[in-house]
A and B are shown apart, each in its own frame.
Chain A
Amino acid sequence: MILIELLQALLLLAGVGFFLVGTLGILRFPDVYTRVHALTKADNLGLGLIVFGLLLGAESVPVALKLLLVWGLALIASATAGYLVARAARRRGVRPWTARNWENS
């Protein structure tokens, strides 16, 4: 029992860690495209870890499935949103930042 709680705590804290990293990435990364990377990957992993952490303490099967449903929906949502924003930026002609040209921050 104590083992499960320990694992749960570990997963929750790791999830929050990835949320923090995602936000930090949004702040530090140089252009829209790289920020989309930070957003979709780090945040979805963070949410996933939190979901799995809560899953260990779920009281019934529908509750556990609902948690997974929320995660799946969030995954699809943020992958779609990231793609749409990147495509809009590309269409608008936002040039991707490269390690060589610093002027286009």
Chain B
Amino acid sequence: MNWLLETVALLLLVTLVLGLIRIWRGPTIADRMLAAQLFGTTGVGLLLVLAELQQIAALRDVALVLALLAVMAVLAFVARVWRKGPEGETEEDPPA
């Protein structure tokens, strides 16, 4: 069973490295931000697999924290870096 989990973890890492290409190439900064979000999701999966592989239950908490905070970067990006128009222009946001 362990070799399987290790293979899965390795493949997830390979996926991460492929995502680096999109971060480097862009072309808009939104594409880079999206790739970072992708890394968050992949990282969560990787941590969950590692929790099973290394038998460390606390890693599931790390995955939880990562899932929460990976969105924060996107939020900061949308709210601060890439906005257009006057301030106070806020529409309905989905509950997070």
Residues of B near A89 (CB, < 8 A) are 28, 30
Interface string of A81-99 (1 = CB under 8 A from B): 1111101110111100000
A69 and B64 within 8 A (CB): yes
Residues of B near A32 (CB, < 8 A) are 28, 30-31, 34
Interface size on A, residues (CB 8 A): 51
Residues of A near B18 (CB, < 8 A) are 20, 23-24, 27
Residues of B near A85 (CB, < 8 A) are 30, 33-34, 37, 74, 77-78
B44 and A12 within 8 A (CB): no
Interface string of A27-47 (1 = CB under 8 A from B): 100001001100100011011
- A27-B21 contact given A39-B38, A88-B83, CB 8 Å threshold: yes
A84 and B74 within 8 A (CB): yes
Q: Is A7 an interface position by the 8 A CB rule?
A: no
B21 and A20 within 8 A (CB): no
Closest residue to A73 on the B side, CB-wise?
B67
Residues of A near B40 (CB, < 8 A) are 77-78
B70 and A77 within 8 A (CB): yes
Residues of B near A19 (CB, < 8 A) are 11-12, 15, 42, 45
Q: Write the nearest CB–CB distance from B26 to chain A, whole angstroms.
A: 10
Interface residues of A (CB under 8 A from B): 5, 8-9, 12-13, 15-16, 19-20, 22-24, 26-27, 32, 35-36, 39, 43-44, 46-47, 50-51, 54, 57, 63, 66-67, 69-70, 73-74, 76-85, 87-89, 91-94, 105
